[in-house]
């Protein structure tokens, strides 16, 4: 289920009451504020992400996995070059 975003002519006018403790509300309000969002926008975006099945997280996770794989390849190559360089230095010092 993909949620449609609001068009420029459409306004959010419907209310949804959500019961929570004052502590929960304060926690969500702090998170929303840190993200520069109103509490309502925070919950709309969270709901949309949930309805999308976390596809954005999957994309981010795939990108992170690819970057980590590249880092591993690069690290392996760097270690090999360093090992070779150290061997050459040791050989030169023994001459």
pTM above 0.75, yes or no: no
- What's the CA gap between 64 and 78, in Å, rounded? 21
| CA-based nearest residue to 1, from 54, 69, 73 | 54
Q: What is the pLDDT of residue 66?
A: 84
Lowest mean pLDDT among 16-25, 33-42, 43-52, 67-76: 43-52
pLDDT at 45: 87
Tell me the percentage of the chain whose pLDDT exceeds 90: 48
Token digits of residue 64: 């992170």
| pLDDT tens readout for residues 31-60 | 999 999 999 999 988 888 778 775 656 667
- Helical pair 39-51 and 22-34, crossing angle rounded to 10 deg: 90
């Amino acid at each position: 289920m993909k949620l449609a975003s609001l068009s420029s002519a459409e306004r959010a006018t419907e209310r949804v009451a959500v019961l929570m403790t004052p502590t929960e509300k304060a926690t969500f309000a702090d998170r929303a504020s840190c993200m520069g969002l109103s509490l309502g926008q925070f919950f709309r975006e969270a709901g949309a992400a949930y309805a999308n099945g976390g596809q954005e997280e999957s994309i981010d996770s795939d990108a992170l996995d690819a970057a980590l794989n590249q880092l591993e390849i690069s690290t392996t190559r760097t270690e090999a070059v360093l090992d070779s360089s150290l061997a050459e230095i040791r050989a030169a010092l023994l001459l």
